[in-house]
Homo-oligomer: A and B are copies of this chain.
Amino acid sequence: MTAEIITIGDEILIGQIVDTNSAFLGKVLNKIGVSIYQITSVQDDKAHILKSLQEAEDNADIIIITGGLGPTKDDITKHTICEYFNDTLVEDKAVLAHVEHLFSKYISTPISDLNRQQSLVPSKAKVLMNQYGTAPGMWLEKSGKVFVSLPGVPYEMKALITNKVIPLLREKYHFPFIRHKTLLTYGLGESAIANRIEDWQDALPDFIKLAYLPNLGKVRLRLSGKSVDKTLLESEIDKQIALLLPQIEDIFVGFEDDGSIEAILGKQLGSLGKTIAIAESCTGGQIAKAITTNAGASKYFKGSVVSYATKSKINILGVSEDAIDSHSVVSKEVAESMAINVRKLFNSDYGLSTTGNAGPSKGDSDAEVGTVWIAIATENEVYSEVFNFGNHRDKVIMKATNKAFEMLQKEILKK
């Protein structure tokens, strides 16, 4: 079973936006056993869209089209699909009601005819209601092939794919059974992990493959198996994971199905009934932001002080001026004092802090660009580590964030 992805929009071709939708689609379709034959990005141009639809129909069984469904003149996907299917647009009452509801509830400007026209859909289409926006998804079939047109806004598209399109595809087709299991690790590089688990990897059965997916201090290990025998596949993957886990115990974070490391950490804190507070300097709010992206974070996250100005480390976090004068703001002493004091300030079980220099130039300290101290305070102790995360600002912030979560999880799981 193959699919082709067509992304429509001049903004992709002129490089104004990076097409992240295709990677998402590739990932989720692969998971259910659909291989992507090709990704094609085309202009908001009728002839071009028609040509790409025809080529995709020749190449693949499933054609997923994103973009070009907005209410303005430059968005022509819907009309073009209508022409391709020799169809006409008809008003869908449910979509119209939904659009009117969204406008009355969330949008201050009055609804216009352009907005109402979002409820026009090809008469042959099955309408996929878009919970988060005004442009519905559309499912059409032609000579046994499926065409799905979705809005280009990533979170709208993702919700439609997850809640509507994947279930419909599963209903329509019998996919071979595929199982992916991804293990999150941290603290060790790709080739070091590969060296360590070489014997295990070499002994994997043919129908199970391993991929290394490295990203800023974290490496994901993905086991993928494909078989018509579901029971065999499941038991074999479980068996292989049971063999693997003892070899990576020190670097294993959790399974990706359980969510990101922040989500896993949140569940662990939640089940222990423990809470955390954070004092961030160089990470500038990134750690708090990553934690609060998870719904329900208020159960275990008390809050954070982003003490960007040096004075705020003294006034709010109660770091002593003396410590700053003697050791500089980027130091073990300041990091540990921040962690101790933020824990007290928020009355939490754990205190976590970062202080460093994310670059590009030196700040209130002589510390080299990339230097970051991370400290953890508990009821009984405080400790810290220093790192150099390189000279690329975003990378330093993200690596420090990942490392902070790594240290925190190790602390939480201490026996």
Contacts and interface: CB of A to CB of B under 8 A. Distances in A.
Interface of A: 10-20, 22-28, 30, 35-43, 48, 52, 70-74, 105-107, 109, 112, 114-115, 131-132, 153, 155, 159, 180, 182, 188-192, 194-195, 210-215, 220, 222, 224, 278, 280, 284-289, 291-293, 295, 297-298, 301-309, 311-312, 315-316, 345-347, 359-361, 363-364, 370, 388-395, 397
B40 A39 contact: yes
A195 B114 contact: yes
Contacts of A301: 308-309
B41 A22 contact: yes
A295 B393 contact: yes
A72 B191 contact: yes
29 contacts: A11-B213, A14-B26, A15-B23, A15-B36, A18-B20, A18-B23, A38-B41, A38-B52, A39-B40, A39-B41, A70-B212, A71-B191, A73-B194, A106-B390, A112-B191, A132-B391, A132-B395, A155-B394, A278-B306, A285-B286, A285-B306, A288-B289, A288-B306, A293-B397, A298-B309, A303-B305, A303-B312, A316-B345, A316-B346
Contacts of A24: 15
Nearest to A188: B109
Contact of A308 (B107, B159, B195, B302): B302
A-B pairs with lowest CB-CB distance, top 6? A284-B292, A285-B288, A15-B26, A15-B27, A285-B285, A285-B289
A329 B159 CA distance: 30
Given A71-B194, A309-B346, 17 more contacts: A13-B37, A14-B26, A16-B182, A18-B20, A37-B48, A38-B40, A74-B210, A280-B285, A280-B288, A285-B287, A285-B304, A289-B289, A295-B361, A303-B305, A304-B304, A305-B316, A311-B347
A114 B196 CA distance: 13
B13 A39 contact: yes
A152 B279 CA distance: 33
A237 to B, nearest CB: 15
A183 to B, nearest CB: 13
Nearest to A180: B14
Interface residue SS majority, chain A: mixed
Interface core residue of A15, A213, A302, A370 (most chain B CB under 10 Å): A15
B395 A155 contact: yes
A223 to B, nearest CB: 12
A106 B307 CA distance: 26
B194 A72 contact: yes
Given A40-B39, A106-B388, A388-B106, A302 B295 contact: no
A298 B15 CA distance: 31
Contact of A106 (B36, B278, B389): B389
A213 to B, nearest CB: 5
B308 A297 contact: yes
A371 B389 CA distance: 38
A291 B188 CA distance: 31
Contacts of A191: 71-72, 112, 114-115
Contacts of A305: 303-306, 316
A99 to B, nearest CB: 11
Nearest to A291: B284
A106 B392 CA distance: 12
A303 B314 CA distance: 12
A18 B17 contact: no
A106 B211 CA distance: 24
Given A189-B107, A284-B291, A393-B295, A14 B41 contact: no
Contacts of A212: 70, 72, 74
Contacts of A220: 16
A288 to B, nearest CB: 3
Contacts of A42: 38
A362 B107 CA distance: 22
A345 B315 contact: yes
